[in-house]
Copies of this chain bind each other. A is one copy, B any other.
Amino acid sequence: MIHSNTSLSENLEDYLETIFHLEKVNKVARVKDIADKLGVLRGSVTGALKSLAEKELINYEPYSFITLTRKGTTIAREISRRHAIIKSFLKDVLQLDGERAETNACRMEHAMDKAAIDRLVQFIDYIHTCPRTGADWITAFVDYYSKKTPAREKCDQCMDACMTRHLESQPT
């Protein structure tokens, strides 16, 4: 056994993520459910499961239920985390609708490395923490991209509101 490679193809990452999700919902993953989720036929799933088992990421015996190993869980959790972070950025910051955020996140989660994801997390945090931004700044973004007319008075009001809120949060 020279195998048990760490690096996963995008496809296998998808399988792992799906199993992770099914395990949470149903305690256990089944071939049919994986196939349905990923939109492939059951025969294709069996092949992928063999790969994952070879890499020691899942517990798999023919005809048995499927569960993640400790190692598999760790990796799947990370993939799942990426997915959630990216989706949150697309949905809550960029204001894409849920479905589009989901499909984009599904592909982007394989394309960003750890450094990029971690920085994105900090960026999202920053937007919500910095007194100059926050929820209303994001709301104003919707105005910006839909109307395309940033009226001066609106900016004045917005700035005032922002400053007021900051001053009110002043420690006594």
Contacts and interface: CB of A to CB of B under 8 A. Distances in A.
A100 interface: yes
Instruction: Select the residue from A119, A144, A158 with max chain B CB neighbours within 10 A.
Output: A119
**Count of chain copies:** 2
Given A129-B150, A132-B162, A171-B152, A111 B108 contact: yes
Majority-rule SS of A interface residues = helix
A144 B116 contact: no
Interface string A109-141: 011110110011011011001111100010011
A119 B107 contact: no
Nearest to A90: B116
Interface in A132-169: 132-133, 137, 140-141, 144-145, 150, 152, 155-156, 158-159, 162-163, 166
Interface of A: 90, 93-96, 100, 103-104, 107-108, 110-113, 115-116, 119-120, 122-123, 125-126, 129-133, 137, 140-141, 144-145, 150, 152, 155-156, 158-159, 162-163, 166, 171
30 contacts: A93-B123, A94-B116, A94-B120, A94-B123, A95-B119, A100-B115, A100-B116, A103-B113, A104-B112, A107-B110, A108-B111, A108-B112, A119-B145, A122-B141, A125-B144, A129-B144, A130-B140, A130-B141, A130-B155, A131-B155, A131-B158, A131-B159, A132-B133, A132-B137, A132-B159, A132-B162, A156-B166, A159-B163, A159-B166, A163-B163
